[in-house]
Amino acid sequence: MRYPLLSTLAILSPILTSAQDVSYDYIVVGSGPGGGPLAADLARAGYSTLLIEAGSDEGDNPTYADIANFNEAANDETTRWDFWVKHSDDPDRDLQFAHTTWDTGEGTFYVGLDPPEGAKLLGIQYPRAAVLGGCAMHNAGVCALPAEGDWDVIVERTGDESWSAGNMRRYFKQIEKNQYAPAGEEAHGYDGWLATSTADSSWAQNDTQPGTRILKKLAELTGQDPADVANLVNRDLNDGDPNADETSSFYSMVTHADTQGKRSSPNNYIRATLADEANHPLTLQLQTLVTRVLFDNTTINSTTPGVLPRAIGVEVLEGASLYRADPKHTPDTPPPPTKQIFARREVIISGGTFNSPQLLKLSGIGPSSELAQFSIPLIKHLPGVGENLGDNYEGSLLALGASPFPNGLTTLLFRTPNAPTAKRNIYTWCGAFSFEGFWPGFPTDHGPTQYTCALVLMAPKSQRGTVRLVSGDARDRPEINFRFFEEKGEEDLGELVAAANILREAIAAVGEPVAPFVEQHPCAGGNTTSGNDSSSCTDESQASYFKLQAYSHHATSTCAIGGDDDPMAVLDSRFRVRGVEGLRVVDASVFPVVPGAFPSCPTMMLSAKAAETILEDAEKGNTRRRR
């Protein structure tokens, strides 16, 4: 069911209806995990802030509000933006991806390897969410903190100690409203805006359950005590253990949801800020596409040493479904007239890993040769914009049992024997579900006996992907190529295979009545209970499978923070776009490397850091007045 926009806007005040000749202290472009909380924090500090979102508000829509509906949310055309990406430069290789998607020309998609005659190739679907709250409104809500080293990379590259893992924990505690740990736990926060909760794992106390047999075998294979699995599965995923990054352990999966299963996201924080009796100066403008950042002509053309081009506002198009990634977009419809909105202090781009570099390039910031190709006037040559695209590799071991699997979810972080460091490299969750990547209408329901161990390879070796313009039209999707396994691919594939072998050996312990499990992939047709035929389930065959069928949905790093000596650095450690003034980027695109297994909560943490940083800068002798 599609929910009308007006029903959700009625509680939000104020709402901007005309952008012409309006100015604010700050303009934030994008309401996801980076921009949404940041806009609320700036307004709560007393600065007039405009938050611009291309989509609608679905905060009252149960498809989004109830976190159990995340598959439906990611498929919903109400908010979905379809990016069609490449996994490599080899079109023949990409065409072997089992869920390659085609436009039949009849208003439907074909997904598979044998398209009907005349079908148009679209590619590999990578859905994003154009909605108040961003992709935190359609994800599964896993809230996992990254390895400490993922934060320390920024310290090493910039020398800025404020990015240390210990300091970043402070921002997690600031935003968290923990609803599962005992009150007063040092690692957690209890008064923030982001509710966190865990699922019930009491089923693991029954030693006779099929799931418990798998747990015990997994414990044995990963160096844990099989006799203690009932307690181990309740371990806190974000407990602050200084040795956690080198510890293989079960956990209770933490989600950004409350104990009633209601999604907690930037949407809630934005709406609470708008509804607050304190009347915070936050203005929300929905269904608005930002086409470029505006710069002061006097600074662009200045020959005075030290004067840098200064961002002073944005140009926008107002209307629904203007971006061509929106499946509701009407082709060949002329765009509405452009309008301009001005910022007295700064413009902050938070469009996400795909759209933030696109907007920078459309605004004249990026590789000069690429901008010249589309006749975009150059403001600042920054060759790193749209480069360094990274993502975790994901895959799954899927099997069908002799009867339905009766138990709950198992969450495990572990190190494979061939991992390059002492740190754990795999995040896996196993249970009676199906997850094999993304395509229109995903996932495939394999019936009541399906069992999946989905796995994420953390710290991928290759970040060689790119986001490139296809035109100077802001409504066009960019070209996105992840270039999977281009750098040290054999190492990454070896780790995926090692993880699959461990998981396969564990689920072979399931026993009756669920046994036998018949594997669907990566070793199709194998009997995991009696052991796979080694001639058909080799490490080589599994590596080939993962190379063709790995997928992802944690894209980061296309506007990376870096040091002054790094020519590919887009931002400094204070989120400032290099070579210009009054412009920052705050979203997952700023991470130099992919942060852990799931970037949603890490991005909300850096949003809190960005708010603190921007407010510090605002108070340093800046004479411009607050509202």
Mean pLDDT value across residues 326-336: 93
Q: Which tens digits make up the pLDDT trace of 175-224?
A: 999 999 999 999 999 999 999 999 999 999 999 899 999 999 999 999 99
Flag whether pLDDT at 624 surpasses 60. Answer: no
* Residue 43 marked as a ligand binder: no
* Residue 140 marked as a ligand binder: yes
pLDDT bucket at 16, cuts 50 / 70 / 90? very low
Beta strands in 350-437 (DSSP E): 365-366, 380-381, 393-400, 410-414, 426-431
Flag whether pLDDT at 7 surpasses 50. Answer: no
* Residue 131 marked as a ligand binder: yes
- The length of the chain is 627
Residue written as token pair 């009867």: 403
Give the phi and the psi of residue 111 in degrees, each rounded to 5.
Answer: -120, 120
What is the torsional sign of CA 112, 117, 123, 129? negative
Enumerate the domain spans of the chain. 1-79+130-163+265-386+559-627, 200-252+392-471+482-549
What CATH number should be reported for the domain whose range is 1-79+130-163+265-386+559-627? 3.50.50.60
Which amino acid makes up residue 292?
A: R
Which amino acid makes up residue 178?
A: N
* Residue 141 marked as a ligand binder: yes
* Residue 139 marked as a ligand binder: yes
Question: Cβ distance 206 to 212 under 8 Å?
Answer: yes
Percent helix, strand and coil across the chain, each to the nearest 5: 25, 25, 50
Whole-number percent of the chain with pLDDT over 90: 92
What CATH number should be reported for the domain whose range is 200-252+392-471+482-549? 3.30.410.40
Q: What is the DSSP letter of 183?
A: T
Which amino acid makes up residue 611?
A: A
Residue written as token pair 């500090």: 45
Q: Which tens digits make up the pLDDT trace of 540-577?
A: 999 999 999 999 999 999 999 999 999 999 999 999 99
